[in-house]
Structure 1
Amino acid sequence: MVSAPHEAMHRIFQEYPNLFSKLSHVLGLELPPPVSAELLTVDLTENEPLERRVDTLLRIETQNDGPFLLVIEAQGKKDPGKTASWPYYVTYLNNKYRLPVLLLVICQDHATATWAARPITIGLPQWPTVTTRPLVAGPHNMPVITNVAEARKDLALATLSAITHADNPDVDAILKTMSVALRDTPESIAEPIVELIAQGLGNRPAAQQWRNLVAVDLSFYTSPLSEEIRDEGRTQGRTEGRTEGRVERGAADILLVLGARGIAIGNRAREKITACTDPELLSQWLVRAAVAATGDEVFGEEQTSADR
Structure 2
Amino acid sequence: MEALHRDGPPGPLPSPTRSPQHSARPLCSDDPALLVRTFRTLGVHLPVPGSVRLLRRGGGFDLLLRMERPGGDGGYLLALDTTGGNGPDRQGSWGHQLTRLYAIHRLPPVLVALCRDTGTARRAAGPLRIGTPEWAALTVRRLALGPHNVPLVLDPVAAGRDLPLAAFAAITHSRQPHGGAVLSALAAALKSAADGRYADLVPVLAELVATGVAEEPRAARIWHGLAPRPRRRPRNA
The TM-score normalised by the length of structure 1 is 0.52
Following the alignment from structure 1 to structure 2, what is the Cα–Cα distance between the partners of residues 40 and 208? 28
Q: 1:15 to 1:161 in 2, by over 3 A?
A: farther
Following the alignment from structure 2 to structure 1, what is the Cα–Cα distance between the partners of residues 58 and 206? 28
What percentage of residue pairs aligned between the two structures are identical?
A: 35
Q: 1:131 to 1:197 in 2, by over 3 A?
A: closer
Counterpart of 2:156 in structure 1 is 148
Gaps (5+ residues) in structure 2?
Answer: 6-24, 232-237
Counterpart of 2:50 in structure 1 is 35
Q: 1:95 to 1:155 in 2, by over 3 A?
A: closer
Paired residues of 1:55 and 1:73 also in contact (CA < 8 A):
yes
Which one has a bigger Cα radius of gyration? 1
Q: Larger % of helix: which?
A: 1
Following the alignment from structure 1 to structure 2, what is the Cα–Cα distance between the partners of residues 15 and 201? 26
Tell me how many residue pairs correspond in the alignment: 199
Paired residues of 1:74 and 1:106 also in contact (CA < 8 A):
yes
- Counterpart of 2:94 in 1: which secondary structure? helix
Paired residues of 1:86 and 1:132 also in contact (CA < 8 A):
yes
- Counterpart of 1:81 in 2: which secondary structure? helix
Q: CA offsets per residue over residues 99-137 of structure 1, 9 Å max, x none?
A: 222222222222221221111112332332321111112
1:137 to 122, 137, 145: 145
Paired residues of 2:26 and 2:51 also in contact (CA < 8 A):
no
Counterpart of 2:166 in structure 1 is 158
- Counterpart of 1:71 in 2: which secondary structure? strand
Paired residues of 1:42 and 1:54 also in contact (CA < 8 A):
no
Following the alignment from structure 2 to structure 1, what is the Cα–Cα distance between the partners of residues 116 and 152? 13
Letter in 2 for 1:89: Q
Of structures 1 and 2, the one scoring higher in RCO (CA 8 A, sep 6+) is 2
Written as runs of structure 1 = structure 2, the 5 A alignment for 1:1-308 is 20-40=35-55, 42-43=57-58, 53-63=60-70, 66-75=74-83, 78-181=86-189, 184-186=192-194, 189=199, 192=203, 197=209, 200-202=212-214, 204-210=217-223, 214=226, 223=229
Q: 1:121 to 1:15 in 2, by over 3 A?
A: same
Gaps (5+ residues) in structure 1?
Answer: 1-5, 8-13, 45-52, 226-308
Q: CA offsets per residue over residues 262-285 of structure 1, 9 Å max, x none?
A: xxxxxxxxxxxxxxxxxxxxxxxx
